[in-house]
Structure 1
Amino acid sequence: MSNLVQRTITGFFFVAVLVFCVSYNGYSLSALFFIISVLSLYEFYGLIKQGNYKPNIPLGMVVGVVVYLVFMLRNYSQITSSTISLVFPLLFIFFLVELFLKHQKPFENVAMSILGPVYAVLPFAIFTGLGFMHGMIYNYQLPLGFLILLWSNDTFAYLFGRQFGKHKLFERISPKKTWEGFFGGMLSAVAISQVLAHYFPTLSALNWAVVSLIIVCFGTLGDLVESMFKRSLDVKDSGTILPGHGGLLDRFDGLLVSAPFVYAYLIFLGV
């Protein structure tokens, strides 16, 4: 099977599962992204180990699961927002455990251990919160609209960059990205946001446009951050779980950075 066929088949089923779970109900969304979070966290620690760090993987996995579940309970109004603050003391357990492990670089190991749940779990938990902006009543429009805009930007940025790209966007980190691709993706995402405003009236046309701009800007930065992360470890893909596409961190790099900013904007609006 050729790589293109493999990528196409994997991409089709990947998108189909995401769209179904996001559209069906809040439980399917929460369950899917719980699985994605756990696998992404494990993938992250696997990469970190290649950089000769020694993260506390068992404790990191436990903390990651707790972080995700706490945010899920908040989505369903089972706990108050202030209760989420109880998660933060968990992060300091890494310091205490490292005291007894006698590693040569304890603080680097602690930092990488903590970075796992923060980078590979928390953004997914925040993303699922987009479906519960109105409390326990789940609304698929915001998370599905987010994904549509994210995918639209990626697709059209690639097409515009391939056809018209001449000026490098961030050559040191990602030599293939161009300013032409960036603005092509941006214009396309904004145009699609206006279509979304018609079918997904949860937000006004103006706010959908702003959300699309946030996704384009911070999604692109997220892609660059992931590239920087892989370059620092001298790896091409974050994993092999998605044949032809690499790992989960590769596929969700734009979401990891843009989701918290979109959520913050919607909180600011009082949605």
Structure 2
Amino acid sequence: MKVRIISALVLLPIFFFVIIYGGLVTKLAVLLVALISIKEFTNAFAESGIKPTNAILYIITILFLVPSWLNIWSVLPVLLFILVVGESILLIFGKKTVEDISVSILTFVYITVALSSVIVVREASFDFIWYIFIFAWATDTCAYFAGFAFGKHKLMPKVSPKKTIEGAIGGIIGCIIISTVYAYFVHPEYILLIGVSALIGSVISQAGDLFASSFKRKLGVKDYGNLIPGHGGMLDRIDSIIFTAPFTYIVMFIAKLI
């Protein structure tokens, strides 16, 4: 626990700088996180004999996240097409298996496309980008303490043995409270929308955690890496954010802010 806290204290100032500064700094930070996460995710498959095409993934991720596209998602169909065609050629010539190319495509959508939402939301609204992290981290923190204090019934023992139903409920309640308090002070006109969104966002955050844990269980790995002391790899730290980032974009779309 001490190591986790120290790591968090070191990383938090960097995190706030990246989000507050915005622009190219945010883009480059998201790119770095995406590239590290891609490496960790694909490495987890290596021992099972599945070898995604990292080179292609790195290239299209850079092309997608860094340039100042008028609309970042306007280039997404083109890049997806390039990815699928490139992987198909490798499959045709026997350089890759169906499993290899399937994981490559999944990795791009799961990590790169999802994380691009952070850039889109930041460019659209400084106030709303914090919900990406509130939904994820408020849920995680409140679920931990609620589970520690009241946890008795396992949530999904085959996927994540330590998670409890009581913890999950505590995470949802905590997320709703923290999100609505933030909304009350920053944009009270959206407080009802945020209250409902926090409930859904908390569930989605926990789904993101369980989704990543399901792969770890299937592939027989404890963590995706050891980059962050006490937390594991980058992907272990952002697995919930990968789900809450696109969801926050949807919330902003409903609020007609995008």
Question: Under a length normalisation based on structure 1, what TM-score does the superposition of the two structures give?
Answer: 0.87
Give me the whole-angstrom Cα distance separating, in 2, the residues matched to 1:44 and 1:265.
28
Contact 2:22–2:123 (CA under 8 A) maintained in structure 1: no
Cα distance per residue 1:213-238 (max 9 Å; x no partner): 23201110011001101011100000
Q: What residue is the counterpart of 1:145 in the other structure?
A: 131
The letter of the residue matching 1:228 is S
Give me the whole-angstrom Cα distance separating, in 1, the residues matched to 2:71 and 2:190.
30
Contact 1:167–1:180 (CA under 8 A) maintained in structure 2: yes
Cα distance per residue 1:222-259 (max 9 Å; x no partner): 11001101011100000011111101111011111222
Superposed displacement of residue 82, structure 1: 4.1
Matched, 1:224 2:221: no
Matched, 1:205 2:201: no
Contact 1:44–1:120 (CA under 8 A) maintained in structure 2: no
**Relative to 1, partners in 2 of residues 1:202 and 1:46: Cα closer, same or farther, differing over 3 Å?**
farther
Contact 2:22–2:122 (CA under 8 A) maintained in structure 1: no
2:57 corresponds to which of 60, 64, 73: 60
Matched, 1:85 2:77: yes
Ranges in structure 2 where 5+ consecutive residues have no aligned partner = none
What is the aligned-residue RMSD (CA, Å)?
2.0
1:1-271 aligned at under 5 Å gives the runs: 4-69=1-66, 73-74=68-69, 78-79=70-71, 82-92=74-84, 93-103=86-96, 106-133=97-124, 139-201=125-187, 204-271=190-257
The letter of the residue matching 1:57 is N
Contact 1:149–1:212 (CA under 8 A) maintained in structure 2: yes
Identity across aligned pairs (percent)?
29
Superposed displacement of residue 35, structure 1: 0.9
Ranges in structure 1 where 5+ consecutive residues have no aligned partner = 134-138
Give me the whole-angstrom Cα distance separating, in 2, the residues matched to 1:266 and 1:260.
10
Contact 2:135–2:205 (CA under 8 A) maintained in structure 1: no
Q: What residue is the counterpart of 1:136 in the other structure?
A: none
